[in-house]
Amino acid sequence: MQAYRVALMEAAEVCKMGNTPVCAGVTFRGRRSPRYAEAPPRYPAGNGLLERINRSDGPEDRGRDERCLGGSLPDFGGYRRIVQSPTAVALYYDLFQGQGYQRVIPIKTAPHVPSQMRQWRGDSRARWEGDTLVVDVTNFTPKTEYRGSRENLHLVERWTRVNANTLEYVVTIADPTTWTRPWTVKQEMTRQDERPNRIYYEPRCHEGNYGMTALLAGARADDKAFRERRGSDPATKCYVPCLPQVDVEDPVQ
């Protein structure tokens, strides 16, 4: 995948100087790579600067956040609303800008769904260990992406109410094809006043997602101008954030 990303940057004018992170490893050739028309070797699910591809043929070329597909697990940011019943726990994840999603976790001893059934946020099964809710999450899809891990991602989450206002979240993250050993993150969440948060935040990211529409419309305009010999090859442009490398110690930069 990295070789594919590099190939799509070979014609980008910004890589003449090579002073931007997305040009790392790129040999500037001034012409589009034969790979420019290829489909990505893996689903481009990442959002990081160095994980995006320099093309806008369709929404699938863009990052998850741009497509309103955020909220992959594990998730360490945003507001949570938690509703508990005897047989399930429902968590609402706020993904900012008014969008979010509901994650309903059954509390039962039934096994995970069959291995051929894959889901974007995996398959969750919960059980109680004393006052701690333990959630086992497997069956992620290959389209999932978390720091290089995809379908082999395995999470064990532990939710513990420490006191009336504090919820402790501990998650152990494992994937033997990505990391040498499992690793664990702990996060504490503070309860907020329920009065200001009493209104349900309706997920509405794609309604009015003019950024995506404008980005794709601009790319099609570039294609048309190139066909009519009025503009440069779109492969020479930069459709990912191509900011130059700056000195973080310099406040002016």
pLDDT band for position 253 (50/70/90)? very low
Check whether 252 has a pLDDT greater than 60.
no
Give me the phi and psi of 40, to 5 degrees please. Answer: -60, 145
- CA–CA distances in Å: residue 76 to residues 49, 171, 185: 19, 10, 9
Q: What is the share, in percent, of the chain residues with pLDDT greater than 70?
A: 87
The closest alpha carbon to 81, from 98, 105, 103, belongs to: 103
For 85-97, write each residue's pLDDT tens digit.
999 999 988 776 5
For 34-58, write each residue's pLDDT tens digit.
999 999 988 887 766 667 889 999 9
pLDDT band for position 66 (50/70/90)? confident
For 158-181, write each residue's pLDDT tens digit.
999 999 999 999 999 999 999 999
Residue 132's beta-bridge partner residues? Answer: 129, 160
For 123-159, write each residue's pLDDT tens digit.
999 999 999 999 999 999 988 888 889 999 999 999 9
| pTM listed for this prediction | 0.75
Strand arrangement of the beta sheet that strand 80-84 belongs to: 80-84, 88-94, 100-106
Q: In angstroms, rounded to a whole number, what is the distance separating the alpha carbons of residues 90 and 219?
A: 40
Residue 166's beta-bridge partner residues? Answer: 163, 190
Q: In angstroms, rounded to a whole number, what is the distance separating the alpha carbons of residues 169 and 186?
A: 6
